[in-house]
């Protein structure tokens, strides 16, 4: 079951669900989701002579760009990593899903390409996989609403939520980070 606005507000007020800072609750808590904003840190992929990215290697092909409140332009074909302005903490009784906003999609910008599922027990900022599929550059602004967080009630709380898993490689993230796929057991084999 997807939680409606009044249930979301109740969980936020009780501190069971955390979205902080929630700068404008009246506009961010919608009928069945919470709008999240764009942070001011991005990872941009560098041009390299490497023929491919090896998912078993922890090599970083990105450079960090801090917008410091300034606009950030995403050019056609660009793929960048961004981060939400809010830290979220999902209780073990909920799961969540992050999805883009229609207004950005109509400009050709995806706010989150894949991996939108957020496990029970996750605590941290969300790294966004942003791409411009359109034909024109699009300027994004730190603080603008970038994606929506849908919340799902579980039939019962998870026995081992994400924050208690040994392999929770993105737990507590507070900055834009590269892929940690190289840490996955099936990739290391």
Per-10-residue mean pLDDT, the chain, length 189: 98 98 96 98 86 79 91 96 98 97 96 90 96 97 98 95 75 73 66
Domain borders along the chain are: 5-46+56-157
pLDDT of residue 54: 78
User: What pLDDT score was predicted for residue 171?
Assistant: 74
Distance CA 129, CA 120 (A): 21
pLDDT digits (tens, 9 = 90+) for 103-132: 999 999 999 888 899 999 999 999 999 999
Closest CA to 140 of 45, 67, 76, 46: 67
Residue 3: closest CA among 124, 90, 84: 90
> Domain 5-46+56-157 maps to which CATH number in 3.40.1580.10, 3.30.450.40, 2.70.40.10, 2.102.10.10?
2.70.40.10
Q: Of 109, 82, 76, 96, give the one whose Cα is nearest residue 19.
A: 96
| pTM, 2 dp | 0.89
**pLDDT score, position 183:** 67
Report whether 116 contacts 99 (CB < 8 A).
yes
Handedness of CA 89, 91, 96, 101 (dihedral sign): negative
Choose the catalytic residue: 26, 63, 129, 159. Answer: 129
Q: Give me the pLDDT at residue 90, please.
A: 98
Respond yes or no: is residue 129 known to be catalytic. Answer: yes
Q: Is 77 exposed, middle or buried (0-12, 13-18, 19+ CB in 10 A)?
A: exposed
- 144, two tokens: 């603008």
């Amino acid at each position: 079951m997807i939680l409606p606005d009044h249930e979301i507000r109740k969980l936020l007020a009780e501190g069971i669900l955390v979205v902080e800072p929630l700068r404008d609750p009246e506009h961010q808590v919608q009928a069945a989701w919470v709008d999240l904003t764009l942070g001011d840190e991005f990872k941009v992929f560098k041009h390299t002579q490497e023929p491919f990215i090896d998912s078993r290697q922890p090599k970083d092909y990105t450079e960090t760009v801090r917008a410091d409140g300034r606009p950030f332009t995403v050019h056609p074909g660009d793929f960048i990593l961004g981060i939400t302005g809010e830290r979220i903490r999902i209780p073990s009784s909920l799961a969540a899903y992050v999805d883009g906003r229609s207004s950005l999609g109509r400009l050709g910008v995806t706010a989150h390409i894949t991996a939108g599922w957020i496990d029970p027990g996750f605590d941290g900022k969300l790294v966004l996989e942003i791409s411009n599929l359109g034909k024109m550059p699009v300027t994004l602004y730190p603080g603008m609403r970038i994606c929506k967080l849908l919340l799902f009630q579980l039939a019962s709380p998870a026995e081992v939520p994400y924050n208690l898993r040994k392999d929770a490689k993105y737990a507590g993230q507070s900055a834009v980070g590269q892929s940690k796929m190289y840490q996955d057991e099936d990739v290391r084999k």
